[in-house]
Amino acid sequence: MPSISVAALFLAACLAFYVLRSGVLRPYLKFIWHAFISPIGSGANQKDRLNKFYSGQADVYDTTRNGLLRGRNTMLSLSAAHLRALRASSPQKRLVWIDIGGGTGHNIELMDKHMRISEFDAVYLIDLCEPLLDIARQRFVDKGWTNVTVLCQDASEFTLPEWNDGRDPKGSVGFVTLSYSLSMIPSFYTVLDRIEHVLCPSDGLVSVVDFYTAGKQPSLHEKAIGGASKECGWLSRWFWQIWFDFDHVSLSPARRSYLEYKFGTIKSFNGRNRFILPFIVRIPYYIWLGRPRTCDISRASHAFEVEGGNMIGNCSPMPLKGIKATEDVVPSLQIGEPALDMQTTRPQATAIDITPPYSSFHYHVNSFWRLPYYEHPVHKEFRTFIYSFTWEDPFEDMKHLQLSSKDSMFVITSAGDNALHYAVASGPQRIHCVDMNPCQGHLMELKLAAIKCLEYEDFFALFGQGRHPNFRRLLDSKIAPHLSSSAYQFWRINADSFSSSFYLRGYSGWALRLAKFIFKLAGVSKDIQLLCSADTLQQQKEVWTNKIRPVVLNPVVVTLLKNPVFCWNALGVPLNQRKMLLDEGGVFEFIRDTLDPLATAHLFKNDNYFYLLGLLGHYTPESCPQYLTRAGFDKLKANNGQALDAFRLHTDSIVNVLNGLSDWSLTRALIMDHLDWFTPGSTEVDGEVSELYRALAPGGSVFWRSAARKPWYNVNFERKGFKVTALGVRQGPDAAIDRVNMYASFWRAVKI
């Protein structure tokens, strides 16, 4: 034993000697000394302080900053994607990039991986520190880039050589970046004002990555532009401000607040740099992309402006001053669009001028599906999406909807599968998707954005197979320009959702996980594969009856399904709906009546993707929702995704969104099993039914499903003046009413 200890000590000593001899630690020791021990000093001016601080470490700056200055690569990747989106309509327009505080030129070299430096007409690196700029000059000479110019200037007074001929600098710059430099600039107000002056108002982009601190409670403005995880605890807030202040680096909230005031937010992400000691050292940093508030309000650049809290009905936002809006504003309208005239006898709304308020939502670049919303206390209850797939049969819906391209629909978002099915099948002019859970909206946004910008193979890998090895790269480089800031933050934080199986995520994923565990425990995993690959209904029935049915209808499984906690957290079944189910029979009978008819009704292999997903955890090209087929995908993607323009995503309650819709503006509404969630006799149901009646045009229809064969709220529709008709009611285990057969009844109410 002693000999082993001596040998270990000898090896450790040899290793230490080698490390010290080789100089591997020398750059990091120099960095630690200059960054954490030796203060920046109190020179006469900022330039002297910077030269003193970096003169001893300029040669090791890039080597030692990769772990500390997080987010630079992501910021540049996002910027490249957004620049392409912003300039899609004018690709030949001159593009000038200014990197303020760019130091050694690392950012410019890194950007070449995302967007070739040769694509820029001119690139200017502006910094006040000569030791760092010397590194940059040599770097660009080595690269042979002749369109890159290094300027030693004060950022608050920067000027470009191309302006020396008397050219007006206003609006002449297309792209400005500040990478860990805004926090080091004393006169940051002047710098941001100057950036706004020179940035192109139509397609200019400003991108920032930097350290920050913030208060415990986000402001209304911060909630509006998407500020997830921005809050800092008191220890983190004060410690990092004091620590960085020794080196004249300011982390106070003023810089970021003025940035977000001066420019419209496109993307905002808040992270923590887990530097050296991941669970102890967590420096807050942010990535932010924005554009001038004077940008053109158009289909390519849509700015949402609101006043105060969440507008009733999540209505369309007020436009900027001078832009016309309708007095009867509804969520289905773009700024400047005419009001929907569902009946020619209804008068059109009058156009008026509206002066913009000061609180602003994020600015969309290319896609404007998501309507703005303020974070509501109820949103905090939803940590993720409940449904990763939609558990209702749209093929059965289409038999009764009688949709045309002139219809305006109101649907519950859920996972978005059915809404996309309606768009593929009939292409209605408007599809309002409504969900109180913002994460369901994030999921729907991701699907719309992915259709817009991805090829079919990548899209099917994400939502067919449920996994993609390069989701983060796709998110930053392709998908992000089509997402709202809130949706981007959600998927950036949950980027591992597609690393294994997406459909095992969310609350509904727990049900699939449990099913997989039970089948494995019962030793029928191979039989599940046989069930899903059966070529005939007879083969499918035999596997179901002899192998799978005894496991699913086992008393232990039935007891688990009776549990109210499991019903909600895994199946999304609330207490009131569970009671409706039990009032008409037991859980055993409900499961039997649901599943027994399916084995002889539709082949899971190619005609029932609902249960194929539930059993396998993924779809196949032969059995998947319509939007995941190549034909469906191509139809949605055609004409630059024109069919996707029909979607408006609302993050609010159904009744609030209905309140914001004008009279007769809808022709079809599908509310799934939503009303099952209410307590019998609830006055809220009357309010919702009244709003549906008002918003529907004469002859318009509402469709719903229920866990009960005769829902108690049918009478509420009849009292209001609807004609209610049963489209399908389960009568036992002999026949299925659709491919899912999970609900006991399917109903339609027509406005008379």
Q: Of 677, 582, 608, 745, whose CA–CA distance to 386 is shortest?
A: 677
Q: Name, in order, each residue with C-beta under 8 angstroms of 439's C-beta and a sequence gap of 6 or more.
A: 382, 383, 384, 385, 386, 490, 506
* H or E segment to which residue 353 belongs: strand 351-353
| Per-residue tokens: 593 | 């009546």
45-54, 252-261, 326-335, 422-431, range with greatest mean pLDDT: 422-431
Are the folds of 60-292 and 653-752 the same?
Answer: yes
Lowest mean pLDDT among 95-104, 243-252, 262-271, 556-565: 556-565
- Centre a 10 Å sphere on the Cβ of residue 502 and count the other Cβ atoms it contains: 24
pLDDT tens-digit readout, 316-353? 333 333 222 222 333 333 322 323 333 333 322 222 22
Q: Which residue has the higher pLDDT, 369 or 21?
A: 369
| 3 state SS of 750 | strand
**What's residue 663's pLDDT?**
95
Mean pLDDT across the stretch 528-545?
95
Let me know: does 489 contact 226? Beta carbons within 8 Å. yes
Please report which confidence band the pLDDT of residue 282 belongs to, taking 50, 70 and 90 as the band edges: confident
- Centre a 10 Å sphere on the Cβ of residue 65 and count the other Cβ atoms it contains: 18
Mean pLDDT across the stretch 547-572?
72
Q: Name, in order, each residue with C-beta under 8 angstroms of 319's C-beta and a sequence gap of 6 or more.
A: 297, 305, 325, 335, 336, 354, 356
Tell me the domain boundaries of the chain. Answer: 60-292, 510-616, 653-752
**What's residue 141's pLDDT?**
95
**What's residue 382's pLDDT?**
76
Mean pLDDT across the stretch 593-599?
91
Strand order in the sheet with 745-751: 647-650, 430-434, 408-412, 666-670, 696-706, 745-751, 722-729
Rounded Cα distance, 495 and 472, in Å: 6
pLDDT of 471 higher than 70: yes
pLDDT tens-digit readout, 679-736? 888 889 999 999 999 999 999 999 999 988 999 999 999 999 999 999 999 988 889 9
Which residues partner with 748 through β-bridges?
703, 725
pLDDT tens-digit readout, 189-243? 999 999 999 999 989 999 999 999 887 776 766 766 766 778 787 777 888 888 8
Q: Name, in order, each residue with C-beta under 8 angstroms of 384's C-beta and a sequence gap of 6 or more.
A: 439, 494, 505, 506, 507
What does residue 536 show for φ and ψ, rounded to 5 degrees?
-130, 155
**What's residue 536's pLDDT?**
96
CA dihedral 631, 637, 638, 641 (to 10 degrees): 150
pLDDT tens-digit readout, 135-155? 999 999 999 999 999 999 999
| Per-residue tokens: 78 | 């996002």
Query: For the domain 653-752, what is the CATH code?
Result: 3.40.50.150
pLDDT tens-digit readout, 347-396? 222 222 223 333 345 677 778 899 888 777 777 777 788 889 998 999 99
Please report which confidence band the pLDDT of residue 425 belongs to, taking 50, 70 and 90 as the band edges: very high
Class of the CATH domain delimited by 60-292: alpha beta
15-29, 53-67, 466-480, range with greatest mean pLDDT: 466-480
**What's residue 372's pLDDT?**
83
Lowest mean pLDDT among 426-440, 562-576, 630-644: 562-576
Please report which confidence band the pLDDT of residue 642 belongs to, taking 50, 70 and 90 as the band edges: very high
Beta strands in 60-173 (DSSP E): 96-100, 122-127, 148-152
Q: Which residue has the higher pLDDT, 6 or 685?
A: 685
Mean pLDDT across the stretch 303-312?
34
Let me know: does 659 contact 693? Beta carbons within 8 Å. no
**What's residue 387's pLDDT?**
86
User: What is the amino acid identity at position 523?
Assistant: G
For the chain, what is the mean pLDDT? 82
| Residue that is written with structure tokens 């680096």 in the block | 249
